[in-house]
């Protein structure tokens, strides 16, 4: 199961709340993966992908506005990471998703957990200590 941990808190309430939402999306991805009663998961996978994409765009905009307001020195490199994440989501091969649904869910879940966890701990934590 995917759970929020206090170690992910960056100390900026709005950003922490948005990070929790990303963990909720990852949690739903895990639940879908482990749902053995759902035979064809394609539509639900697409829902998760679309929600992840829309929410990360919203969240990244919040972070980027915060960085601009606080004159964060690493704004451009941080934004590049955000753009890379969105490009990865935009580049999803929906045909592959349909053909290998559980395998894709595992890949998506690993990507979310690794990227979000690493990004929060290595990059976003620096926002509060700017």
| pLDDT at position 40 | 94
Cα 55 → chain centroid: 8
CA distance 73 to 87: 23
Q: Would you give the DSSP letter of residue 38?
A: -
3 dihedral zone (left: phi>0; alpha: psi -120 to 50; beta): beta
| pLDDT at position 115 | 87
| pLDDT at position 77 | 94
| pLDDT at position 121 | 86
Under 8 Å between Cβ of 12 and 128: yes
Of 96, 95, 105, 99, nearest to 28 (Cα)?
Answer: 105
Please tell us whether the domain made up of 11-128 is placed in CATH 3.40.50.920: no
Residues of the chain short of pLDDT 70, as ranges, are 1, 130
Helices H / strands E in the chain, number of each: 6, 0
């Amino acid at each position: 199961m995917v759970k929020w941990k206090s170690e992910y808190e960056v100390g900026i309430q709005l950003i922490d709340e948005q990070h929790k939402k990303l963990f909720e999306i990852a949690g739903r991805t895990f639940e879908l993966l482990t749902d053995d009663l759902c035979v064809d998961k394609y539509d639900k996978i697409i829902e998760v992908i679309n929600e992840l994409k829309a929410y990360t765009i919203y969240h990244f905009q919040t972070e980027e506005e915060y960085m601009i307001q606080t004159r964060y020195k690493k704004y451009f490199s941080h934004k590049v990471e955000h753009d890379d994440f969105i490009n990865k989501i935009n580049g999803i091969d929906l045909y592959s998703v349909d053909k290998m649904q559980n395998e894709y869910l595992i890949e998506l879940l690993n990507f979310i957990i690794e990227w979000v966890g690493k990004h929060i701990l290595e990059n976003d934590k620096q926002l509060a200590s700017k």
